[in-house]
Each structure stands twice: as structure tokens, then as C-alpha cells.
Amino acid sequence: MNPLITADVTERLRQHVAGRVIAPDETDYETLRTTPAGAPDARPAVIVRARSTADVVQAVAAARESGLELAVRSGGHSGAGHSTTDGGILLDLGEMKELEVDLERRTARVQPGLTAGEYNEAVGRHGLATGFGDTGSVGIGGITVGGGMGLLTRRYGLTIDSLLAAEVVTADGTVLEADTDHHEDLFWAVRGGGGNVGVVTRLTFRLHPVDEVLGGMLVLPATAEVIEGFVRLATAAPDELSTIANLMPCPPLPFVPAEVHGRPVLMAQLVHTGPLEAARRTLESFRSLAEPYADLVRPMRYPDIFQGEEAGPMPEVVSRGGFARRIGAQEASALAEAVATPGSARIVQIRVLGGAAARVDAAETAFAHRDQPMMLMLVAFCDGPEDRARQERWLEEASGMLDGAAYVNFLGREGPERVRAAYPGATWDRLVEAKRRYDPGNLFRLNQNVPPTG
Ligand SMILES: Cc1cc2nc3c(=O)[nH]c(=O)nc-3n(C[C@H](O)[C@H](O)[C@H](O)COP(=O)(O)OP(=O)(O)OC[C@H]3O[C@@H](n4cnc5c(N)ncnc54)[C@H](O)[C@@H]3O)c2cc1C
């Protein structure tokens, strides 16, 4: 990092930015410079805590003109460590939390610094919701530009399927309002392109009438029969039901009997948005798969589904995410065995997709995996280098269940081939075209990068 360039950039930012400009020796630098999943030693040359779109324009100009790397952070949950930069400019949108609700039109216009939990808590006061993921602390900025899969996906589609418009600062500093009638190619690329075409500074979402839901956690024994049955029921269930199931050794949860702790369990989050009686009937079939170890499914306000958990330091893990075509008896049996292996802490997450997300044409957004029936995330905790090698062998084997396609929000630092796998066929070509138009110099490269050269 050239100290003359960075001093100059910092000075210029101080003159033009309304939000805070934080240099390495200043208050809050240490807490803001990285995130649990970011490189622990990363030291940005300067941090800009933007307050407005105009601040974002200034930070983008500073990066473009200085050549310094630009990190764009909304909620800071990038699993690939893209929420910070070593020696570059960290543009932190975490203070941009304005939200306006239009009850008549049932829309919300928001800045990207809100978390999914904060957003749904606010719109939930009106009995409305937009679907993001399963974790309240994830930023709406990052999850939206990748697609957004969660507990309303089968009912209302991905997050991007509820996105009506986006204000975007492109690489040359232009502020564009994009929707299906204006800068359509930009709007298409924002919806799943992973932040490759610009910084999104405002998002307009459709709000759905989601007030009380039947939802919560169900903990079942993770036998092969239960796993297979769960996937079968979740796939056949009405669109009102979305599920996310984690297979793992049972953590020491106070609401699960102590003798179950450490045993392999299927711990599912379920949300049913339909009428209570129908929801109860659907949920009954899941309960009858096996005697539940714990059953916290109850009528609740939708925002209460988020537990407000805070990410701590990340333990050493190896992981692989992707789509799976089926989980039949054979796959279920392999998964049950994987999480029951003594001395191995492994988590397998299964998200059954379909429903409204599958009814959107694959060409409509930059997220094209509309026909994929489910997502799988395979995670193994490593206890030293020897164990790491063992867990990597398991990942390699278990990855046989994945079909090779990737979801950009669940990618780590896995190389260009895996980014390519997130954008099949014509989607890649169209994204490259949008990149050439809106970011020909690849200013926005600290992401799952789609280079303008293709
Ligand atoms: C605990 C946890 C749970 C998760 N659960 C889910 C889930 O249920 N469903 C799901 O779909 N995903 C989930 N994810 C993945 C998550 O969607 C991505 O990691 C997402 O990128 C996080 O967004 P963020 O704003 O918090 O992260 P950040 O680190 O701030 O941003 C990540 C990347 O997104 C881009 N970006 C962020 N903000 C903007 C913006 N305003 N404009 C343009 N580009 C931007 C940048 O490239 C940035 O590097 C989860 C991740 C974690 C860590």
C-alpha cells in the first residue's frame, strides 16, 4: 500500500463524504476492519461508513481513480471473506438503514444496510414480509444481489423475485434507477449477479401478507428413513410450506433432552404461511416421521422465526455447497452415516426448493437454477491438519450427490470454475455483457467475480 496514495485518498474522502471516514489509527477501525468470515489480518487503507448514495459515489470514485481495491459491505456475512480488503477501500453500508413502507402499494423502499431481521421486524408491524434467508443478521444488500433463499421461498420465490427496482451506483459513478422498464439489463444482472455490476444503494421490494405463521423448529432422529421421508414430504408439500433441515450431532440445546445431545438429529426450521388448520395437517405428517426429540413448531409472528443470533469467530471448516437432484434411500443412508460418524462434527443442510421460485423463467434473472429441486450444504469441522485431510476426503465423496451447479451466495473462495458454475449457459454470456457495459474495468472484482473479459 503506497502511503502517499492512501493519505491522499483518505483526505479527499474526508472532504466529500458526509459519513465517517476512518483511518487505521482511528476509533472503531479495529472493530470494523474485518468480519468473522473475513481475513483476520486484513487492514483496509481506509473505511468509509457511507450515509447516502452520494457517499457511495465518492467511495467508488476514490477506488476508480486510485486503483485501490474496493470492498462493498452491507451485512458483512460473505462466507468468502469479501466483506473486507487488505490495503484497499472498505465501503461499509451498515449505517444506511432507511426504510419507507408504502402500505397502499404494498412495497418497501430501503437502503441496503438493514439486516433481514431488522427489515422483517419493521414491515412485520404491518403484517407484511419479504423473504430473505434463515438468519436475521444477514444483510439485505448481499443476500439480494446473490438471489436470496429462505423460509418464504416456496411461497413467494427468491428474494429477487420480490425485487421491483434498484438504485445502483455503477463503476463510472452514475446513479441509475433500474427496473423491468429502465436499464433492464442492469436490473437483470443485479438480480443474482452477486454485486458484479455496481453498488446497490436502494431496493424496492414487494411486501407480502405474512403475519402469523405456523413455524419453528422440529428436531427428529437423523435416521436414513427420516431423512428420506422428510425430503419427500417437503417436496410434495403445498407451496405455503418452506423448510430448511440441518443434519448434525445434536448440540446441547436446553429444549432437547440431555440424553439426545451428541446424537445425530435432523433439526428443521419450518414456516407454513397458509391457514392454521391446513398448516397443522401438513405439519402433522412431518411429526409422524418419528417421535420428535423436540417440537417448537407453533403459531408465531413471522419475524420471530429469526433468532437474532450473532456470528462468532468461525471455527476451521471445509465445506461444499450446491444443488442436488434427489435424495432417495441411498443418499439418505450416506448422509445419516456421515453425520453419525464418531469423532466427526459435520453438518448437512438440505433446502427443498420448488414452488414459486421454480415458476419463474430461468432467463428472467441472473439466478438461473430454477429447476433445481434442492440445495445441499456440506460442512465439516476440522480438528487439525490430519483431520482436515479426512474431512476433505468425505467432502469429495459426498459431493457425488451434488450436480455441479453452484449458488453464488453459498460459494467460498473456490476459484473461477465454481463461479462459472453459478451462471449456466446464456446466463454467463448475458452477465459478461452487462459487466462490460456497467463495469468494463472490473472495479467491482472483490466478489464472486464475472470478469468483463468473460
Ligand atoms: C450465517 C449465515 C446464514 C446465511 N443464510 C443464508 C440463507 O438462508 N439464504 C441465502 O440465500 N443466503 C444465506 N447466506 C449467504 C448470504 O446470503 C451471503 O453471504 C450474502 O452475501 C451476505 O450478505 P451480507 O450483506 O450480509 O454480506 P456482505 O459481506 O456485506 O456482502 C457480501 C457480498 O455481496 C456484495 N454486496 C453486498 N452488499 C452489496 C450492495 N449493496 N451492492 C452490491 N453488492 C453488494 C459484495 O460483493 C459483497 O462482497 C448466509 C450466510 C451466513 C454467514
- Any atom of ligand 1 within 6 Å of the Cβ of 193: no
- Any atom of ligand 1 within 6 Å of the Cβ of 202: no
Grid cell of 263 as nine digits: 446424537
pLDDT band of residue 36 (cuts 50, 70, 90) is confident
Distance between Cα 256 and ligand 1 center (Å):
31
The residues of the chain that CATH labels 3.30.465.10 are 99-209+425-438
Burial 75-113 (b: 16+ CB within 10 A, else e): bbbbbbbbbbbbebbbbbbbebbeeebeeeeebbbbbbb
Dump the DSSP string for 126-172: TT-B----S-TTSBHHHHHHH---STTHHHH--GGGGEEEEEEE-TT
pLDDT band of residue 2 (cuts 50, 70, 90) is confident
The reported pLDDT for the residue numbered 315 is: 77
308, pLDDT greater than 60: no
Distance between Cα 87 and ligand 1 center (Å):
22
pLDDT band of residue 11 (cuts 50, 70, 90) is very high
The reported pLDDT for the residue numbered 63 is: 98
144, pLDDT greater than 60: yes
Distance between Cα 141 and ligand 1 center (Å):
7
pLDDT band of residue 72 (cuts 50, 70, 90) is very high
Sign (positive/negative) of CA torsion 426, 429, 432, 433?
Answer: negative
State the DSSP H helix or E strand holding residue 281, giving kind and residue range, or none if neither.
helix 276-287
Q: Comparing 188-202, 267-281, 297-311, which segment has the lowest mean pLDDT?
A: 297-311
Write down how long the chain is: 454
Distance between Cα 18 and ligand 1 center (Å):
25
- Taking the C-alpha atoms of residue 229 and residue 329, their distance in angstroms, rounded to an integer, is 9
Burial class (CB within 10 angstroms; exposed 0-12, middle 13-18, buried 19+) of 381:
middle
pLDDT band of residue 3 (cuts 50, 70, 90) is confident
pLDDT band of residue 312 (cuts 50, 70, 90) is low
State the DSSP H helix or E strand holding residue 204, giving kind and residue range, or none if neither.
strand 199-206
Test site for ligand 1: of 138, 159, 411, most ligand atoms within 8 A of the Cβ: 138
Q: What percent of the chain is modeled with pLDDT above 90?
A: 92
pLDDT in tens, 388-418: 999 999 999 999 999 999 999 999 999 999 9
The conformational region for residue 147 under phi > 0 = left, psi -120 to 50 = alpha, else beta, is left
- The pairing of strands 241-249 and 264-272 is antiparallel
Domain 99-209+425-438 falls under CATH 3.30.465.10:
yes
Beta carbons of 132 and 119 less than 8 angstroms apart: yes
pLDDT in tens, 346-389: 999 999 999 999 999 999 999 999 999 999 999 999 988 889 99
Residue nearest to atom 1 of ligand 1 (CA): 135
- Single-letter code of the amino acid located at 81: G
The beta-carbon contacts of 307-311 under 8 Å, at least 24 apart in sequence, are 307/136, 308/117, 308/136, 308/137, 309/135, 309/136, 309/137, 310/137, 311/35, 311/36, 311/37, 311/77, 311/137
- Any atom of ligand 1 within 6 Å of the Cβ of 88: no
Task: Give residue for cell 465517517.
Answer: 20
The reported pLDDT for the residue numbered 385 is: 87
Test site for ligand 1: of 145, 156, 350, most ligand atoms within 8 A of the Cβ: 145
Beta carbons of 300 and 269 less than 8 angstroms apart: no
User: What are the CA-CA distances from residue 424 to residues 324, 363, 368, 411, 420 (Å)?
Assistant: 16, 10, 7, 15, 7
User: What are the CA-CA distances from residue 21 to residues 27, 28, 117, 186 (Å)?
Assistant: 11, 11, 27, 29
Residue nearest to atom 49 of ligand 1 (CA): 82
Query: Given 3.30.70.3340, 3.30.43.10, 3.30.1490.20, 3.40.720.10, which CATH number is that of 3-92?
Result: 3.30.43.10
341, pLDDT greater than 90: no
The reported pLDDT for the residue numbered 6 is: 86
Tell me the three state secondary structure of residue 210.
Answer: coil
The residues of the chain that CATH labels 3.30.43.10 are 3-92
Q: What percent of the chain is modeled with pLDDT above 70?
A: 98
pLDDT in tens, 416-430: 999 999 999 999 999
65, pLDDT greater than 80: yes
- Taking the C-alpha atoms of residue 323 and residue 314, their distance in angstroms, rounded to an integer, is 24
Rounded to an integer, the average pLDDT of 15-29 is 97
Q: Work out the mean pLDDT of the chain and round it to a whole number.
A: 95
- Any atom of ligand 1 within 6 Å of the Cβ of 75: yes
Gap between the terminal Cα atoms of the chain: 29
Grid cell of 90 as nine digits: 472498505
Q: Between helices 329-340 and 224-236, what is the axis angle to 10°?
A: 130
Q: Comparing 28-37, 232-241, 293-302, 437-446, which segment has the lowest mean pLDDT?
A: 28-37
- Any atom of ligand 1 within 6 Å of the Cβ of 195: yes
Residue nearest to atom 7 of ligand 1 (CA): 133
pLDDT in tens, 184-208: 999 999 999 999 999 999 999 999 9
- Any atom of ligand 1 within 6 Å of the Cβ of 234: no
- Any atom of ligand 1 within 6 Å of the Cβ of 197: no
4, pLDDT greater than 60: yes
Ligand 1 nearest-atom number relative to CA 351: 8
- Taking the C-alpha atoms of residue 104 and residue 102, their distance in angstroms, rounded to an integer, is 6
pLDDT in tens, 235-272: 999 999 999 999 999 999 999 999 999 999 999 999 99
- Taking the C-alpha atoms of residue 390 and residue 398, their distance in angstroms, rounded to an integer, is 12
Domain 212-410 falls under CATH 3.40.462.20:
yes
Dump the DSSP string for 222-266: --HHHHHHHHHHHHHS-TTEEEEEEEEEPP--TTS-GGGTTSEEE
